[in-house]
Structures are given as structure tokens and as C-alpha cells.
Amino acid sequence: MLRKYCIKILTVFFVFLIFSCGQAGLLVQDQSQEDAVNIKTLNEGSIVTKNSQIPLSIENFDSTLSPDRLEIKLLSSEGEELGTETIEGEDLKNDSLPSITLPQLETDLYILRFTLYKDNEIITEKEVKIFYTNEIFNVLGITSYPPVITSNTKAVLYAHLDIPEESSSYLRWSMGKELIAEGYVSDGFDKILWNAPAEEGVYSIKVELFPVGPEEDITFNFSSPRMLTTKIFVTKKESYSKNEFSPDNEYYSVFHFRGDVEDTGMRKKTGATELVGNPELTVRGNLFGYYLNGTNGFHIPSIILPEKEGALGPFSLMMRLQIDGIQKNRSFFNVTSADNNFTFSLRTDQQGLPMVRITQEAQNIESYCAEYPDRVEELFNGDTHTLTLSVVPEEKTIQFLWFVDGLMVGSEEKPYAPKTFPQNGYSLIGGEEGFIGIIDEFGIYYRDVRKRSATRSDIYLQAMKARYGRELIYAEGFDGMYMPEDVLLTGEAEIGLGKIILNSKGAITLPTFRIGYEKLSFEIQFLREAAKQEAEIVIRFLDSKLKPIVLNLDGKVLLTDKEAKIKGADRGLFTFQLKNNENGTEISSFSDVVKISDIKSEELKIEIEIKSLTDDTILGIERILITSRSLQIAREGEQKAIASALSRSLSINSILETKL
């Protein structure tokens, strides 16, 4: 229950402090200029704290009117009287009236009513609504998702706030004089959906923070001193962020979900994408996309898988998403032909792990992403991940390659007979019995920069760019269908299922790179642990007096005049470090260090060759990584990923089995 308070009169105070921003603390004249006597005090909506001193003065434009009493009442927002005070006599005749200080109150909206009397008759009266609080209420910033907004799309605007927990804070969003939205933070109004204007330009978005909200169905008719205005840029030209699936002309179908459901891929559009239910545009952490609740999704009135020579073509299906926990028997993406003769289904199985099923005529082909469940289960931890499935149909087989965040987590090859590809049907993202979570992007990659039918070949490279940034020197995961163009092949080799197989005495040479006074870390993952005679790595120093170094996979280092030893390959993973400084050049693997030369070289031009040695050697390489990050740092925090993603070296796939 509210109790009565007494407003205390302080001594005359000419300098006052109001803990608010803007102009709320300034003396303002009564808006009614017709009054001969005006009361000047706080602005409407001012925020007052326990120690705030409320200024008060009177302007008298009529000498015949000399007020003899000023009554000040403190009222609740409902009009209940909480306290009263009177100024009269000599105090009222001073040029500056004594400031007043409010007692301790609950955080709420209050009314100060000032009434001037002369001979018990009211001369003028004024009411001012104020907020009282002793807690912090601030707007820290405004963020837009996506950062670059395209005209005629939807965007999410998010207000970053510093407010008490479980407060009744209220926000009002506006663009110029236009109200966009308003409501309680507890109801989610710190995040709003904004329809971007049709015209490109710079738009001012303002958010105002009130400690409490107004009465129902009423808006405040004053501004808040806690406000922030930001400039939002709207453009008609779409642009890509560095992490988006791009470029569009390499995708048969691609949905960026930048506040719209437009397919900007290269396929011929036969109809607009339709919403299934009501997918909610939202922001969660660093992800901006549509929330799907297990029943809603997106219906595309055509088949969005590519065709090649009348049959299913190769492609990489990519989804960036957040999945709300492990979900069993839930659909990510489905395709169904008009005659139901062809289906493609990407979903979770009864254990909750991803699988794909293709049916056509008598064929029923399944691939399960369950080879390395520890790595796959990270998909369901609530963080943002990219799931990629590359499908490579061939004359007698079809290959499936599974990736999570750029690391291969499974691959297999199944018997397959190409059939006539259907021309009509539909595609569905999510939908009934669909997954629960947020989808940020969806794409069907189908051709490379040379316009060849292809799966995505830089999956591992892009993941390593995101992980190492400028510290990345080189990364190759052999993810695609073709030999990497920056790799020189000697002899014969085959590429597929995420690896390159070098035939007898075959070799690959990596592109040259330069190193200054720094150290480089090398990680080369072989398909299986080779014997010391099977393969070697040759490091050549071009345009230098330094002689080549030869490394065997058991760790033997062959120099011109001696042999040495470092730690060899572990489960097929050969890791070493090359260091160049003012004292010369050395090679090492953790605690094992071998001095190569004392020659001071400010810059070295390096060439790496990996080759099989004998006629009966068949060498499989899965990935190559070179970074300028220290070896120990490079491995810290990656042990789980390496143990999972690289454990493929313990199994021999169908290509190697055929060769052996």
C-alpha cells in the first residue's frame, strides 16, 4: 500500500543535478503562453532519483497578480495523493524558490501538481509527469540484422539495454515522426521487425526507454530522456557479408533469408516461395534468420535440385542454422516429384543423426551421417553451425560427403543407376515434422567458377579462413570433384570422397609461398599411417643457398650431410613446424628440434612436394593445412575436432580398397 510522504523544503539551491540525459534537467516555461503567471520546473518525463533536486521558479507577467501561496502535491499515476508541501510568505517572493527533493519511492510514474493561489483563489495550476527510480536505465546501442538492409525487405532491430532484471521497462521505436512499435521489454520489444522502405537512403531510427509503461492503450505524450538515435542504411543493391553463401551465380538455388524469402539462385523460377505456417524472423546470438517450430517452413513450387544430361546432377546442399537440441525423425529438406516417383529427403534418423534418402523407381538409397557421432552431435548444441551434404551421382555409383563446419564427418559410395530427372514437383524446407530451430541460409551449390557441374570444393578452406584469419597460409581439403587448380600433379591420381589418391610414384606440388622471420605450422592428414618407405615430404627453398629437406612419415629428417629425427605421423596426421629467424632455420615437432642451417635469410621462398616412393605405393591424402600460428596454440582447443574428424584415417574407403 502506498503511504503518505512529506516533501521536504531545502535551502535555496541555484545549481541542481538531474541524473538523466538530454534536456530533461533544464528549467522550462509552461507551454501555455496565455497565462500571466507561469510555473517553471522539470520537463515531462524527466527521471528523478533519490538525490535529485527539483528546480522551481515563477514567472509573473502581471504585476497586479502577486501569488501568496504555492501548493505542491505528489500523486501516484492513478491520482492518489502521496504527499503535499506549501511554500508561502517571504519564500515565495524570492527570485528563485527553494528546490525540493523527493523521498524514497518505488520505481514508477508519478505526478507533481503545482497550484498557485492568491487570496485562496487559484491563479494557475500545472501538472508534470515524472519517473522516480534509483536504478540504472540506459540504451547502450541499436543493432540491425542484417547489417546491410535491402529495400522492401524485413529487418530486425535490436536495442542493447542496461536495465534492472525483472523491471517493467518500456520501449518506443520511431522513424522520424512515425511510430514503428512500442511495448514492454518483457514482451520482447527490445527486438522488433522493421519493414524497410522502398526507397534507398539513410533513415534515423530512435528508441526511447521508459522505466515503466503507460496505462493500457495509451502512449506517453512526452519524450524519454533515455533515448538513442542511429542511422540505418537501406540500399536497393544486395550485398554479401563475408560469411554468406556466395556468389549467387554458382548456386542453383539460394535463400539468404535477409528478411525475405527470395531465391536468388540461377534456376528458372516457376513460382514464388510460400510460407508454411508463420515462420518468425528473429535474432539469436550472432544468427539472423527464421525460427521454425517443427510445423512451419517454406514451400517452393518446383524441384530445386540441379539436372545434368537428363539425370540428377552433382550438388552441395548447405544449411547454416541453429538446432534446438537433438531431434529424432525431423525433416530439414524434402523434394517430391509431381508423380511421386522421385523423392529426396534430408532429415534426422531415429537416433537424431542426419541422413539422406533418395528414391526413384525401384531405387532406395540411404546415407547416414553417423560415422563420427561425436562431431555430428555438435550440430545440436544450440550454437550456429553449417551442415553440408555433397552429392556426386556417377554412371554406376553415387557419392555422399558430409561436413559439419567445414570438417568432413563422413563419406560413402553407393550403387546407383541414373534415371530420367523429373521436371515438375515441389521442394520443402522444414514443414510438418520439420526441425525446430533457426535457419539463416539455405543453398544448393551446383557449378564452379568455370561453370562446370560441381560440388563445392572450398568447404575446408572457408572453414579454416574463419578459424585462422590472416594466420592461414594454405588449406586444402580435397572436397570437390576436380583436382585443385593450384596443385601441380606428377603421375596419376584420383580425387573423390574428400581425398586424393596418388598412384605409384605419383606426387603433388603445392603452390609456392614466402616466409619471413616467422614460424609456420604444418598439418598433413594421410588416409592411413604409411610406412617410412611409402611416402615423403620434400621442402625446397627456391632462390636460396639452403638445400632441400626430406621428411619421412616416421619422423626421419634427411639433410644433405646428416639424418635426424622428429616426432612422426600419429594416426596418419603428420604435424611439424618450420622456423626461420636471425639465427637460421630449423624444423621441429613439439620438443624435437632439428637445425637445418645457420644461414640468415630474411625471406625464404618455399615449395612443398608430397610423393609416393615405390611402384606398389598408393598414397591417400585427406587435407593439408599451413598456418603461421604456433604449433601448440594451433592444436589447443582442437583436439576433439581432430580426434573425430581425423579418425577417418583408421578406415580404408572404397577407393583405396579398389586400388589395393
Rounded-to-integer distance, Cα 340 and Cα 585, Å: 65
Domains of the chain (ranges plus CATH)? Answer: 8-132 (2.60.40.1930), 138-235 (2.60.40.10), 248-456 (2.60.120.200), 466-659 (2.60.120)
600 band by pLDDT with thresholds 50, 70 and 90? confident
Classified as helix, coil or strand, 577 is strand
What are 337's strand-pairing partners? 425
Q: What was the pLDDT predicted at 258?
A: 85
pLDDT in tens, 514-537: 988 889 999 999 986 544 457 899
Q: What was the pLDDT predicted at 28?
A: 43
pLDDT in tens, 415-465: 999 999 999 999 999 999 999 999 999 999 999 999 999 999 999 999 999
Question: Does residue 5 carry a pLDDT above 70?
Answer: no
642 band by pLDDT with thresholds 50, 70 and 90? very low
Question: Does residue 9 carry a pLDDT above 60?
Answer: no
More confident residue, 475 or 553: 475
Which ranges in 324-389 belong to alpha helices (H)? 373-376
Q: Cβ contacts of residue 386 below 8 Å, gap of 6+?
A: 318, 319, 320, 321, 403, 404, 405, 406
29 band by pLDDT with thresholds 50, 70 and 90? very low
Mean residue pLDDT across the chain: 86
The CA-atom distances, in angstroms, between 451 and each of 205, 239, 247, 250 are 43, 22, 12, 8
Classified as helix, coil or strand, 525 is strand
Rounded to 5 degrees, what angle do the CA atoms 328, 331, 332 make? Answer: 120
238 band by pLDDT with thresholds 50, 70 and 90? low
Classified as helix, coil or strand, 637 is coil
DSSP assignment letter at 263 = B
622-627: average pLDDT: 96
What are 611's strand-pairing partners? 507, 536
262-267: average pLDDT: 95
The CA-atom distances, in angstroms, between 187 and each of 155, 170, 192, 212, 226 are 19, 9, 11, 13, 19
Are 209 and 161 contacting, i.e. CB atoms less than 8 angstroms apart?
yes
**DSSP notation for 295-325:** S-EEEESS--S-EETTEEPPEEEEEEEEE-S
pLDDT in tens, 285-339: 778 899 999 999 999 999 999 999 999 999 999 999 999 999 999 999 999 999 9
In the block, which residue shows the cell 541460409? Answer: 441
Rounded-to-integer distance, Cα 77 and Cα 82, Å: 11
Are 626 and 522 contacting, i.e. CB atoms less than 8 angstroms apart?
yes
Query: What is the percent of the chain where pLDDT is above 70?
Result: 87
More confident residue, 243 or 153: 153
Which of these, 136, 170, 147, lies nearest to 288 by C-alpha position?
Answer: 147
